[in-house]
Amino acid sequence: MDWETVLKEYSMMVEEKVGETLSKTIKEAEDYHPFVKDAYSFLSEFTLRKGKRLASCSTLATYKGYVGTIDEKILNVCAGIEIYRQSILIHDDLIDKEETRRGGKTIHRIFTDLFDERLGDGVAVFLGNIAYSLAVQTVIDSGFPREKIAETLLLLSEGYREVNESQMLDLLFEYRDVDAEEWHVMASKRAASLFKVTMLTGGVLGDASEKDLRLLREAAVNIGYAFDIQDDIIDTYASEEDYGRPACGDIRLGKKPLHIIYALGSPDSEVFFFLKSLRGRMSLSREEVEKIRSLVRLSGGLEKAKKASKMHAEEARRLIAETGLSSEAKGFFNSMIAYVENSLNWYR
């Protein structure tokens, strides 16, 4: 089967298990308070919106790549991984003041519209924390031996701390100028951290060798870098119809994705002053969006960032090839890497 078909199949299995897990949580909340039950219902709807499920499917593909099969235990863990991913996104959306996520309202927006901003922001903080707790509990109840669960929980704990560290730096960068080296420091704990958690979880539970765990860790970091660069470019160049949210949201916040760092380093002063002038804007006109895209393209920032992403993608592919993963699992990750690479060609 091709990658898209496999990914869809894996995603459906994970979504079914996530649905079971969150339905149980909603039912348990009925005996506590109707508002808490409603909050869990919104969390379930938010989590189960359609998406590629690259994080949890990476865990599933890695595990199957060593064990050769898919069982209920790993699906339970993948449900936990997916809920863990949502805990990060809920907080990320709150900090970035995002209004939508995958075609629906963000968690803080849902409750802001129902009540007010104070309650919306507060519930997003608490529900993001609860989602992390639910992820941990789901892994504990997965059925794996206790020592394997302990290793997985350590990965989750380290990953959660790392991604929050990177988010602090990402926020700091809105207030200062940074270079490509400092961006890599920040990004080493962003998507790189997520893929480390997901791929290493599959490796640990699948009894991968210490050598393979090292290779998976390095490959995950490079996949994370490539993915982050691609995702940031999409934010600038994808249409609202395709992306589900207004373009150039990062630039309005003053964020420093890699292609913008390269553009700001251009000798053309217009690039610097125009991009700086947009920070804090509530919205951008179509003409302003097109000017941003043109300036970043002409400055060479877009091509430099695409080149960096492809370099990390090639390194990830080399490392995956050295592992003892099955040919099917290697094919899965190579196709995922190719997807990231090929998507860069959509934006010129």
Domains and CATH numbers, the chain: 3-346 (1.10.600.10)
Give buried/exposed letters for 180-197 (b at 16+ CB in 10 A, else e). eebbeebbbbbbbbbbbb
On the question of pLDDT at 344 being above 90, the answer is: no
In the chain, where does DSSP find H-type helix? 3-29, 34-47, 54-67, 72-96, 107-114, 117-140, 146-172, 180-187, 191-205, 210-237, 240-243, 249-253, 258-264, 269-277, 286-299, 301-322, 327-343
Cα(193)–Cα(197) distance, integer angstroms: 6
pTM for the predicted model, two decimal places: 0.95
Tokens read off for 110: 């849902």
Tokens read off for 64: 């199957």
Tokens read off for 183: 């961006």
| pLDDT of the residue at 162 | 98
130-163: pLDDT as tens digits = 999 999 999 999 999 999 999 999 999 999 999 9
| pLDDT of the residue at 243 | 77
| pLDDT of the residue at 202 | 98
| pLDDT of the residue at 244 | 74
Cα(80)–Cα(34) distance, integer angstroms: 24
| pLDDT of the residue at 240 | 81
Q: Are 105 and 115 in contact (CB under 8 A)?
A: no
